[in-house]
Amino acid sequence: MRIGGVIKLSALIFGFLVLTSIGASAVPSYIVPSGLHDISEVPRSFFVSPDGSPNVKIVVGSFSSANDVASAADIAAALGSILYREEEAKDISVRLRKAGDTSVVFRQVIYRYDYDTMTSDHNLPYNGGLVGWARSYDELPANYWYNGVKYTGNYSTWAKSFHVSLRVKNGDSVNGNSLYGWDIEVKGLSLLPRDPANWNGTAPPKKADIGIPPRGIEVSVDYRLYNYTVTYEKTVREAYSEWGVPAEREVVNETRIGNLVDVLVDTGGNSSINSVVSPGVQAGDEFTLLRTKYHVFSVGVNNFTAGEVLGTGWFAQNETKLLGDRWKITLIGADPLEQKAIVTVVDSKTGELYGPAVLELGQPEDVVVNGDTVVLQLKLDAISENLILGKIAQISGYSNIRTYASGGEVSYGNQEWYITVDSDGQYIKSIGLTNANELVGNPLGILGVYTFNYSFEMRSLNERDVDYDINQDGNVTDTSFVVANASITITENAPVIHEVSVPVGGTVPGTDYVIEGVEGVKRIIIHTPTEPIAILDREVNLENPTSNYILVGSSEDNILTAMIFGHYHLPADFRVWFGNYPVLGYIPKCSLLKGRGVIVVAGSSPEVTRKAAVILMRYIAGLS
């Protein structure tokens, strides 16, 4: 990587120096002492050995200032990005990932009219009883709805008896631990016909919306964790019937940890809770409710205050980033001494501009407020100064901060829900939701998590096509008879993800392709130094130097810099010869150090030396 072209200085400095420009405006130009090489000629091997270990020491002067020490630390940090080695990767596997169909969590046929339901459920005799087999939709009978046991009910009975219980393990999380399942009950459902429009409730409609009445769905999440016992039989010895050896089984009591859904699913509803492991969610925790993440600010009795978590990001000055999917944050200014930052905010949905807002370190700032709801809150978590990026600030955000109390309303999936909160002033134990309004649609989305579908199918078969007397009237005629079924299906919105790992030499499942090899894959071996990289000038062994060296500081601050400049007959007074330009020079083989390589990082003051360090850091970064 070439940092820039070389421009000779005027004869006023007697040809001892050359000036290198690094480009437009980012960092000032620097001076290369006459006779030394530009740092653009420094190879990667100067800094790192073939095995990834450091091949260089950073030498700080015995009389250096804090700025010189900081410069050395920054150079050492930059070196960390290239301390690795590459080798051919071995034992490689290819991970194949495919998003499949959505998972069906519930399916129930609610109407069925066919040979089996006629003969088994309605006890119609095969000879004579099937003569009235329906030939069209209008002839489908009204008493083939599923009544919970058999296909003998009617629509009214079916609608009153419809009840679904879904228990889903590991649906939500607290502080990243996904151990909290959902208990969902659908207690009412009806069909709202679209075709035929004059539907009389006899056969199922061909097309219809699903209607769920207010409070027809209840969802609850228990945020307590329990230690519970699951009892089951385990096969200790398989049976060998040929030898007359019976199977041997033993009863196993296994202790597990989970929320109430885990207990109910694993124990079959027989409570066997041993103890409470976690009493719930408290202030300061982050938890999800139906996969939306919240930060809890406080917990009351049957209420809590929380906001949706937008995330955290580092911002450089004048940089704009998105927090969440709505808020564009721009850092206008930052002051590490005052521990303050100034930002502007744009609502990407409306285009409205807010601010400038002043953020104080550690203090939440309500930037956008609407009534009792804090629509956007920002907090300055950290502030610093980066040598390359300048002033930087870490900012976190929360949205829709409000108090959630039993009896209040919340919105999920563009639907309104009543909320029930079970909390004792310290812990949120559980949260329940029930729909406030009738839910209508087909497909019908619920809570942004599930989709309800109603489907109707009718098929016909002609006796002559199969040469069979379907209705058993004694004749095979040119008559078609119909069968029909209708069903309710509940699917999870997120598709099922299928993953498989195939090693080199293995066959891709479902195909004839074999993974013959993987091209261009390298294994990166990171080297973590176990010895100091930065040392003092008086610690360098001139008789037996063990590495290349980066000298930080001027002749006045660093003894080794003074020795190098004297050895190569270079001017020692940096203020006279170099002014306020950073000084950088490369000696591929320094005779004073037994042929070891040397880079000089210096300036007329520690502040100027720091500028030289930044230039070297950028060069090192370009080698990675």
User: What DSSP letter does each residue of 5-55 carry, written as one string?
Assistant: -EEEPPGGGTT-EEEE---SSSS--EEEETTSBPGGG--HHHHB-TTSSB-
Q: Which candidate, 310, 312, 317, 311, places its Cα nearest to that of 384?
A: 317
Same domain, 428 and 480: yes
Q: Is the pLDDT of residue 18 over 50?
A: no
Q: Is the pLDDT of residue 23 over 50?
A: no
Same domain, 107 and 200: yes
pLDDT in tens, 137-150: 999 999 999 988 88
pLDDT in tens, 387-444: 556 788 999 999 999 999 999 998 887 889 999 999 999 999 999 999 999 999 999 9
> Residue 162, Cα to own-chain centre: how many angstroms?
38
Show which of 381, 405, 429 is a domain's final residue. 405
Tokens of 489: 């299906």
- R_g (Cα) of the chain, nearest Å: 38
Rounded distance, CA 285 to CA 278, Å? Answer: 13
Residue 515 lies in a domain: no
Same domain, 322 and 346: yes
Show which of 405, 420, 442 is a domain's final residue. 405
- Tell the residue number behind the tokens 């502007």, with chain if given: 344
Please state the rounded mean pLDDT for residues 127-131: 86
Per-residue confidence band for 99, with pLDDT thresholds at 50, 70 and 90? low
Contact yes or no for 163/187 (Cβ under 8 A): yes
Q: Which candidate, 59, 146, 138, places its Cα nearest to that of 108?
A: 146
Contact yes or no for 571/78 (Cβ under 8 A): no
Per-residue confidence band for 91, with pLDDT thresholds at 50, 70 and 90? low
Q: Is the pLDDT of residue 324 over 60?
A: yes
Number of structural domains (the chain) is 4
Residue 93 lies in a domain: no
pLDDT at 439: 94
Residue 160 lies in a domain: yes
Q: What one-character DSSP code corresponds to residue 81? A: G
Same domain, 330 and 400: yes
Strand segments (E) across 387-477: 390-405, 409-412, 415-423, 428-435, 439-441, 444-446, 450-462
State the average pLDDT for the chain: 87
Rounded distance, CA 442 to CA 434, Å? Answer: 20
Q: Is the pLDDT of residue 1 over 60?
A: no
- How large is the greatest C-alpha to C-alpha distance in the chain, in angstroms? 123
- Tell the residue number behind the tokens 């061909």, with chain if given: 206
Q: Is the pLDDT of residue 2 over 70?
A: no
Per-residue confidence band for 492, with pLDDT thresholds at 50, 70 and 90? confident
pLDDT in tens, 342-356: 999 999 999 999 989
Q: Is the pLDDT of residue 64 over 60?
A: yes
Q: Which candidate, 79, 86, 77, 4, places its Cα nearest to that of 41?
A: 4
pLDDT at 343: 94
Residue 513 lies in a domain: no
For the chain, how are helix, strand and coil distributed in percent, rounded to 5?
Answer: 15, 50, 35
Same domain, 383 and 308: yes
Helix axes of 606-621 and 66-79: crossing angle, nearest 10 degrees: 0
Residue 505 lies in a domain: no
- Give the sign of the dihedral formed by CA 540, CA 545, CA 546, CA 549: positive
Same domain, 112 and 209: yes
Contact yes or no for 53/548 (Cβ under 8 A): no
Percent of the chain exceeding pLDDT 70 equals: 90
Same domain, 74 and 107: no
Residue 485 lies in a domain: yes
pLDDT at 386: 64
Residue 482 lies in a domain: yes
Same domain, 369 and 442: no
Same domain, 400 and 319: yes
- Which residues are CB-neighbours of 436 under 8 A, at least 6 positions away? 214, 215, 409, 416, 417, 418
Show which of 379, 405, 431 is a domain's final residue. 405
Same domain, 352 and 389: yes
Same domain, 483 and 595: no
Domain containing 363: what range?
303-405
Classify 544 in phi/psi space as left (phi over 0), alpha (psi -120 to 50) or beta: beta
Per-residue confidence band for 279, with pLDDT thresholds at 50, 70 and 90? very high
Among the residues of 422-484, which ranges form H helices? 463-466
Please state the rounded mean pLDDT for residues 563-572: 87
Residue 500 lies in a domain: no
User: CATH no. for residue 394?
Assistant: 2.60.98.40
- Tell the residue number behind the tokens 């079959």, with chain if given: 268
Q: Which candidate, 452, 535, 538, 445, places its Cα nearest to that of 488?
A: 452
Contact yes or no for 366/374 (Cβ under 8 A): yes
User: CATH no. for residue 81?
Assistant: 3.30.379.10
Same domain, 201 and 247: no
Question: 385 or 485: whose pLDDT is higher?
Answer: 485
Strand segments (E) across 463-593: 480-503, 522-526, 534-536, 548-552, 583-590
Per-residue confidence band for 76, with pLDDT thresholds at 50, 70 and 90? confident
SS (H, E, C) 85-153: EEEECCCCEEEEEEEEEEEEEEEEEEEEECHHHHHHHCCCCCCCCCCCCCCCHHHCCCCCECCCCCCCE
